[in-house]
Structure 1
Amino acid sequence: MFHPTVRPDELRETARLLRATKYRHPFKFLSKITPYPGTPLYQAYSAAGYLSAEWPLGQWDFVDPEAARVYADLVARISPDENISYDEAEAFFLARLDEWDDATALSAG
């Protein structure tokens, strides 16, 4: 779901796919791609300068600071609440994406 160059529209599409497939685990909204050493993805992330640490696994930073903020908000809201419903997590997720769009529009305008 999350990767270094992720954008709000891509995440919304992923949320639509999750709903369409009836995947109902709220912690899916916290998924981050893991570039494993020796894989083409790892090599691509390394070449692009996305990796912030190489060991034990390829750790990366978001290119857009708003993506980092959204992800941190999601972790803070969803991770500690083992009873959060999928619908609650999805609503929080989508609201954060709207805020990201608003912040992007303000900085561009």
Structure 2
Amino acid sequence: MRDGKMSNIVRFLSYRQRNMVFSNKKQLKNNPDKIFIAENLTKHRYDLINRLNTLRTKDKIHSFWTHDGTILVKKTDVSSPKKIKSRQDIYKLGGEVLEGDVLKMRD
């Protein structure tokens, strides 16, 4: 428990069971108990998620989510999802270059 909140880590015996749980996680959206299901992501992907969350709060993107470790984002409600693999992908969406970011320069 941390800050009065409890976390549970679950390991699935099969991918089918895991997929069933993750495909139904939308049913928990806006529940009064604030229960949610999240994937275990790498530090790099958590950093990308935090940057996307900032873009969403600034209304530069509509939504984002993960599926099997892949980060997907929709710029508008009706746009098709795009994969996010790096900070450069976020810059293309309107994300800001932060201190410590290294940009690849093109000739």
TM-score interval (norm. to shorter): under 0.3
Greater helix content: 1
Greater strand content: 2
Q: Work out which structure has the larger RCO, using CA pairs closer than 8 Å and 6 or more positions apart in sequence.
A: 1
